[in-house]
Amino acid sequence: MHHSHVDGVPVLRSSRSGPLHATLRFGVGARDETYRTRGVTRLVAAFAAHETRRRLPETAEPVVSTGVEETRFTVSGTPREVTDILETLCRVLGDPSPDLTDETAYRCDDEGAVFLHPLAAAALNARYGAQGAGLLGQECSGCRLPTPDMLRTHAATWFTRANAVLTLTGPDPVGLLLPLPPGERPHRAAPEARYPRASWTHRTIEGVAVSVEAPAGSAAVAVAHRIVQERMTAALARRSASTAPAEAATVPHDTETDVRLLFTPATTDDVAEIAATVWSQALRLARIEPAQDEVERHRGGQESAEAQPCTLDAAARTELFGTPGLVEGVTPGDVRDAWQRAMAVAQLVVPDGLLLDLAGPDGRRLWCTSCWTWDELPPWGEAFHEPLMKRAFRGAGERHWTVLTPESVVTCRTGVHHALRFDDVVALERRGPERVLVGRCGCDIGIDPAWYRGGRRLIRAVDDAVPAELAFDGAEGGRPHGERPPHA
C-alpha cells in the first residue's frame, strides 16, 4: 500500500494492472444531520455527481454512496478519465451553488440513500431520539427538502480536504489534482443514549430489536454479537419453523463506540413471546460463559471477516476517524464479561401496544422508558378539549385532549398521556394553521386547531413557546397526525 498526499488530501493506493478504481471518501453521513436538514448529505453528494456528469458528458458519472458516517464517490476508468472526474468533482464540491428545480432536487434526493433495516433504525431512534444515528429511524411527517443555503453550509463544513481521503486501486494516476476547499476536521459530538441503564420501550414497528453500546475495537464484543445472533435464531426456530432468523447490524456511534443491534420480525400474535425469547438469549450470554468451541467458531469467522487492518478500507477509516484496530485474544470469559458490560445499558424495543414484565441484567424488573405515562394524572395546566358535539359521539376511551403548561404541551387520552417539554423540541413544522412538534425523544405531536375548543389560542401559545429558529414551513398536503399511546 502506497501512502501520499495530493493537495492536502491523504491518498492510499494499492498497485494493480488494469483500469483505475478510485473512491473519494468524506467523514460525513446521516448521523451528522439534524431533523430539519435530513437528507442534506446525500443531496450534496448527488448534486455534485449530477453536475460533474453535466460538465463531463463523455465520461462516467461518479457512483454515490451515503452511509451513517461516511459518504463515498466511486469512479472507474482509465487514469485520465478518473483524474478528470475527480478534479471536476472536487471543484463542484468547493463551490456547489446549487440552483435546483424541484424536479432535479427530488431526483438527486433519491440517489445514494442510506439503507438500514427498519427494525435497526427504530432501535437507534429509541436509543438516541431525533438526533445523530437516531434520525435514521425518525418518522418524517412531511418536511421540505433542505434549502440551497443548507446545502452550501453543509458542503463547506464537511466536504473539505481536512475531512477527505482517496483510495486508489490500479496504476498510478498522472497529474492527479484534488482541489477541495480548505477546512478543519469537523468536531462531532455524538449524542448520549437517552437512558443510562437497561430498559425497554415502544416504537411503531413489526418486530423486536435489542441495542447495546460497546467498544469499537473489541473482538470479544464482536464474537459475543455473533454468538447471541446464532442463539437467538436457534431459539426462535424451536418455537416455529416459520419464524424468521435473528439479524444483526453494527452502526458506528463515535470514534470509540459502536452500536450493536439484533432484531427479528414478529406478528401481533406472538410478539410477546418473541420479545421474551430475544431478551432471555441476550441475558444468558451476559451471565454464563460460552463454550470454548463456540468462541473458536465465531472468532475464526470474525478474523476472516473483520480483522483486515491492512486493507484500503480499514486504512481509510483510520485516516478519517482514528478508528481503533480489532483487539485480538478472546477467551470465553472475555466474551461473557464484554457482553455483560454491554448489556448493562441494553435497550429492548417492542411494538406499540405491548406491555412487558421482564427481568433486567441486575435481576430487578426491567425499566420501562416509554414516553407515555400510564395511570397517572397529566400535569396541571390549561386543558383544550374537543368540541362538545365530537365528544358526544366518541366513547370514553377514544377521547383526546391537550394540556398546555408553561413548560410543555401534553397529549392526553383516557388513562395515558405524553408530555413534551418545549426545551426538548427540535423542530416545529407549520402547515397553515396546523402544527407538528417534533421532540428530541423521537416522538411528534400534531395539533390542528379545528380539533379543540380554543384551538387557535393553543396554536399561538405553542408558536410563542418554541424558539423561532426551530420553526419552518412543512411540505404541502401533509396533516398533523398526532400520537397514539402504545395501547391504543
Residue-level pLDDT at 304 = 40
Report all structural domains of the chain as residue ranges with CATH numbers, in order of start. 2-169 (3.30.830.10), 199-370 (3.30.830.10), 374-473 (2.30.29)
Find out whether 443 and 420 touch, Cβ atoms under 8 Å: yes
What is the per-residue pLDDT across 15-27, written as a single tens digit (0 to 9) for each?
A: 888 899 999 999 9
Higher-pLDDT residue of 60 and 328 is 60
Residue-level pLDDT at 302 = 44
Q: Please state the three-class secondary structure of 350-419 as a single string.
A: EECCCCCCCECCCCCECEECCCCEECCCCCCCEEEECCHHHHHCCCHHHCEEEEECCCEEEEEECCEEEE
Q: What's the average model confidence in pLDDT over 271-284?
A: 96
Angstrom distances, CA of residue 381 to CA of 373, 401, 425, 443: 17, 12, 19, 21
Q: Is the whole-model pTM more than 0.95? A: no
185: pLDDT confidence band, cut at 50, 70 and 90? Answer: confident
Average pLDDT, the chain: 87
Q: What's the average model confidence in pLDDT over 355-363?
A: 94
**Spatial CA neighbour of 435 closest among 480, 388, 386, 482:** 480
Q: What's the average model confidence in pLDDT over 165-172?
A: 94
Q: Which triple of cell numbers denotes residue 19?
A: 483500469
- DSSP reduced 3-state for 298: helix
What secondary structure letter does DSSP report for 458?
A: H
Q: Please state the three-class secondary structure of 221-246 as a single string.
A: HHHHHHHHHHHHHHHHHHHCCCCCCC
Query: What whole-number distance in Å separates Cα of residue 79 and Cα of residue 91?
Result: 18
480: pLDDT confidence band, cut at 50, 70 and 90? Answer: low
Helix orientation angle between 102-109 and 40-55, rounded to the nearest 10 degrees: 110
Angstrom distances, CA of residue 406 to CA of 381, 436, 469: 8, 18, 20
305: pLDDT confidence band, cut at 50, 70 and 90? Answer: very low
pLDDT at 488 over 70: no
- Phi, psi dihedrals of residue 139, rounded to the nearest 5°: -70, 130
Residue-level pLDDT at 231 = 97
Q: What is the DSSP string of 12-70?
A: EEE--SSSEEEEEEES--GGG--STTTTHHHHHHHHHHHHHHHH-TTSPPPEEEE-SS-
Q: What's the average model confidence in pLDDT over 216-224?
A: 91
pLDDT at 307 over 50: no
What is the per-residue pLDDT across 405-461, written as a single tens digit (0 to 9) for each?
A: 999 999 998 888 999 999 999 999 998 999 999 999 998 899 999 999 999 999 999
pLDDT at 131 over 80: yes
Find out whether 48 and 73 touch, Cβ atoms under 8 Å: yes
pLDDT at 392 over 70: no
What is the per-residue pLDDT across 29-43, written as a single tens digit (0 to 9) for each?
A: 999 998 889 889 989
In 222-309, the DSSP E strands lie at 247-254, 257-265
300: pLDDT confidence band, cut at 50, 70 and 90? Answer: low
Q: What's the average model confidence in pLDDT over 165-171?
A: 94
**Spatial CA neighbour of 207 closest among 374, 415, 349, 47:** 349
Q: Which triple of cell numbers denotes residue 471?
A: 420553526
